[in-house]
Amino acid sequence: MAEELPQDLIDPRIRLDFDGALAIVTLDRAEKLNALDQAMLVGLEDAFDRVEDAKDARVMLLCGAGKAFCAGGDIAAWAALSPLDFAHGWVKQGHRTFDRLARLRLPTIAVLSGHAFGGGLELAGACDFRVADNGIKLGLPETGLGMVPGWSGTQRLVRRFGAQLIRRLSLGGEMLGAEAALEVGLVDRVVAPGLGLAAAREMAQAVAARGPAAVQAAKLMINAAEGEEVSAPVEILASAMIAATADLREGVAAFREKRKPGFEGR
């Protein structure tokens, strides 16, 4: 049974729980199909920061309460914004939050127990894996509203799943069921309705059983190859290697003792 942490996150509609090696982040706005407003975006970023800092966490699950995973951005939250506020507030904050998710040190699994539309699909697409209940729908309906995907639907999703698929979803308005999404690689596993969380936990336990340092390094390298982030993995991996050297320990000791270091190249 997951232990619920005190609800001191920035937004109460974002829940964060830990269960052994698993961190579980849940969108909890079921009455609005977990549609995101700007405060929820900030709350998600806060939750992801806390997961990053949780030393015992090895895998994160991202879930949606109720009947939907996430219906995307709340139209009421952005429709009245000025063009400047829309671009520099709404869209920019979404990118900050989704980039934070995509670049978490630990693997992430989106639990699609309900529909994922627009920003909801962009959110799921920022995770490393997606487990879907059969019967759900996925799509990018923004152009039907005279809008465009704004939280990397035409960028990250193209890199990860291919331009032609995203053309079908965004330009053509195609909606994919879970099985069709599995065939094109948009989701990684499809299970019977109601079994998504259990299947995601099973997948998470398999990932968590592997070497955590190796898993995190592999994720960094995959992100770099995919263009998710290029310079950070080089510095992170090199710094981790250097941190294990005797030369670093000698350099720190020499600094503290105000003497010239005697490096040995090891």
In the set 3, 31, 45, 142, the catalytic residue is: 142
Q: Which residue has the higher pLDDT, 196 or 91?
A: 196
Residue 238 has pLDDT above 90, yes or no: no
110 sits in the region (left: phi over 0; alpha: psi -120 to 50; else beta) called beta
The pLDDT assigned to 24 comes to 97
In the set 3, 52, 122, 235, the catalytic residue is: 122
CA distances from 246 to 239, 242, 255 (A): 13, 9, 14
Residue 240 has pLDDT above 80, yes or no: no
By three-state DSSP, how is residue 166 classified? Answer: helix
From CA 206, how far away is CA 126, in angstroms rounded? Answer: 20
Phi, psi for residue 19 in degrees, rounded to 5: -140, 90
Q: Using alpha carbons, select from 121, 127, 110, 116 the residue that is nearest to residue 63.
A: 110
Q: Say whether 226 is catalytic.
A: no
By three-state DSSP, how is residue 108 classified? Answer: strand
Beta-carbon contacts of 71 under 8 Å, excluding residues fewer than 6 positions away, are: 32, 33, 34, 35, 115, 117, 118, 120
By three-state DSSP, how is residue 2 classified? Answer: coil
Q: Which residue has the higher pLDDT, 35 or 265?
A: 35
Q: Which residue has the higher pLDDT, 80 or 168?
A: 168
Residue 5 has pLDDT above 60, yes or no: no
Phi, psi for residue 261 in degrees, rounded to 5: -70, 150
Report yes or no: 169 and 140 within 8 Å, Cβ to Cβ: yes
**What's the pLDDT tens digit per position in 102-161?**
999 999 999 999 999 999 999 999 999 999 999 999 999 999 999 899 999 999 999 999
Q: Say whether 4 is catalytic.
A: no
